Structure 1
């Protein structure tokens, strides 16, 4: 490996990104203006591949196993393999209100900054474009397919309204629920019907009462999609979606039993037939690597960001499943004062603002600098290679 200091490598990485920053930011805005939901990121993944082909000596693959919108790019042939994750799916109705355009662009920026240095660092830098974080668990599928194999550490950043060195997401599962009853005239022959809406009402009541007895950290929340077609017809079908969350996968399994029990109560009370189908994969709880977190915090400070620490839990992510297998980090990058919380239209506006552009640059450099620290410090390097 080169005798160049870590600071020397960081200066080179910063200069490389500075020369390419305009195209990285243009890519961010292009994604923002053309949102695509999970599993449908056809344009986004193609545009990412287009940008990666512009990186000298990058090895790029579009489509991985069963996932046509997944992407892999590698640069360098070093023994230490560091993976940077890019997300680019949007939310239905509110576009990039989770700022995944910033996630993808910062990952691209970090890859561009590191690629020319990879062999000097005895590093293989890998970018994985991971579809459907919001609704499908693309990273979980990619873990199962072996797309993360060989990784020694993984990282990504996520925009938000605060700078935080760690994210503490809940383990999470989602379910589609359907009650099937029997239609009948609500006035002439109500006794001939089986009311699916009543089944759903009983279930909602049971869930509301059960919340008092949930364990700390357990959550149940859901929405009703539809129930019935006209007030004078006994509803023969009622549908909805529910999510359960908990501090860890074991607690998640227990709260799932509670949800299922409440849903069955509606069927038992009315005679309706209950159908429950899990939607997507089960998201695990996040294991933040302490050493990598400290390195990222120090590198963000070089760029003028003070990363706070918090134990507050919120949301869920399939990056947590990656962290169960490989040392990982998932820090939050603020979009500045006045930025609202994620998942609303106002946040989507901030994701394409000057503060959003700064988050792309700072996120890219903080990750690139952290990779350089892991590659140049023998203690850090040995710890990861020994896994």
Structure 2
């Protein structure tokens, strides 16, 4: 038997269930913190396979933790299942869920021989809400020594995970408050909050010419009103992204200064509130990365260079700074377009997409098996886990 033969045989016995679940999640998209049916589908599958289920963990109704085994090395597989508003699974979270569940089912029978405790953690609200940070804050990842998931992309091919990362991102809501007035009878008595919103957007647009490569700004006005009333309030949702936390903090300062200047210029008041926790850049663990690269080669997916920096963000970055982690990006064969589009949502429900899900499941199971069975890798991971602190 080849190294992966036992994993392949175990996965084959569950493959039909895993595919049915991934297709069902794709066909029934649920957005952040609303993923009740996806949560139930995943939890029910694992419970039926003998895992001990904790549903609604950390006071999050759509989060779960499933545990099997009692070994000294605690490994976790993260399951994502939230969709994008109006687009559906344009980020392929149905494939992410299927791959992690498939890996758990493929590995289940080997846990006792490997001295491993396996936890499968259902993590809601990756797209918006930073569900994994909430789970970290509330202790769900305490005691975990390594954590994995895999992410499909439209970049056809298999990439060296080592050295790849993602951007930090923070999101806020800015509210300008002025004074309402009749737009014809007494406009001079008003303070137009929308003027402040316009100035803030212009200032942020001018800021773009001097931000660094790999940094991003996005502003989306939310204000509404009618033409015969000077707007009393105006709201803008905003975000910024950068490759390192120091760069992110500086960019945030510069962006918020655009809003503070707009309020000063117009005589409005300004309130800025954080809309979700900050997503931190990924730290790909080298031991896990080397094992993943070897596992994907065995699946017939040779590496074709480094994907490097993904112009995207994930709350798996937060996990990776507290637990040795891996979050590889792997291309769906023949896919095009970009993440977060209807085109990619279609690829996430294609034969090629589900083929990638199969390979990712076997590869992640192989990574956990290999590092658990290799004394040097196991020791290195345990030492690294001790260096990192789980929590906010």
- What does residue 89 of structure 1 align with? 82
Q: Do structure 1's residue 29 and structure 2's residue 23 form an aligned pair?
A: yes
Deviation at 1:339, TM superposition (A): 2.8
- What does residue 214 of structure 2 align with? 217
Deviation at 1:176, TM superposition (A): 1.0
For the 8 Å contact 2:8–2:362, the answer to whether it is kept is yes
Deviation at 1:216, TM superposition (A): 4.4
Q: Do structure 1's residue 151 and structure 2's residue 144 form an aligned pair?
A: yes
Q: 2:334, 2:222 → 1: CA distance? A: 36
Equivalent residues, number: 379
Map residues 104-253 of structure 1 onto 2, 5 A cutoff.
104-162=97-155, 163-166=158-161, 167-227=164-224, 229-253=225-249
- What does residue 310 of structure 2 align with? 313
For the 8 Å contact 1:170–1:246, the answer to whether it is kept is yes
Gaps of 5+ in 2: 387-392
Task: Tell me which stretches of 4 or more aligned residues in structure 1 moved more than 6 Å.
Answer: none
- What does residue 304 of structure 1 align with? 300
Deviation at 1:332, TM superposition (A): 1.3
Q: TM-score, normalised by structure 1?
A: 0.95
Deviation at 1:232, TM superposition (A): 2.5
- What does residue 40 of structure 1 align with? 34
Q: 1:64, 1:335 → 2: CA distance? A: 32
Deviation at 1:333, TM superposition (A): 2.1
Q: Give the alignment partner of residue 251 of structure 2, picking from 243, 252, 255.
A: 255
Q: TM-score, normalised by structure 2?
A: 0.93
Q: 1:381, 1:211 → 2: CA distance? A: 45
- What does residue 7 of structure 2 align with? 13
For the 8 Å contact 2:96–2:150, the answer to whether it is kept is yes
- What does residue 267 of structure 1 align with? 263
- What does residue 390 of structure 2 align with? none
> CA deviation digits over 1:88-109, x for unaligned, max 9?
1111110110010110111000
Deviation at 1:215, TM superposition (A): 4.0
Gaps of 5+ in 1: none
- What does residue 370 of structure 2 align with? 373
> CA deviation digits over 1:227-261, x for unaligned, max 9?
4x222221222112100111122221111111111
The alignment yields a C-alpha RMSD, in angstroms, of 1.4
Q: 1:259, 1:231 → 2: CA distance? A: 29
Deviation at 1:306, TM superposition (A): 2.4
For the 8 Å contact 1:168–1:314, the answer to whether it is kept is no
Q: Give the alignment partner of residue 62 of structure 1, picking from 55, 62, 67.
A: 55
Q: Do structure 1's residue 288 and structure 2's residue 281 form an aligned pair?
A: no
For the 8 Å contact 2:335–2:344, the answer to whether it is kept is no
For the 8 Å contact 1:106–1:360, the answer to whether it is kept is yes
For the 8 Å contact 2:335–2:347, the answer to whether it is kept is no
For the 8 Å contact 1:267–1:274, the answer to whether it is kept is yes
Deviation at 1:214, TM superposition (A): 2.6
Q: 2:78, 2:219 → 1: CA distance? A: 29
> CA deviation digits over 1:106-151, x for unaligned, max 9?
1000000011110111111111110101101111111111111111
Q: 2:69, 2:361 → 1: CA distance? A: 18
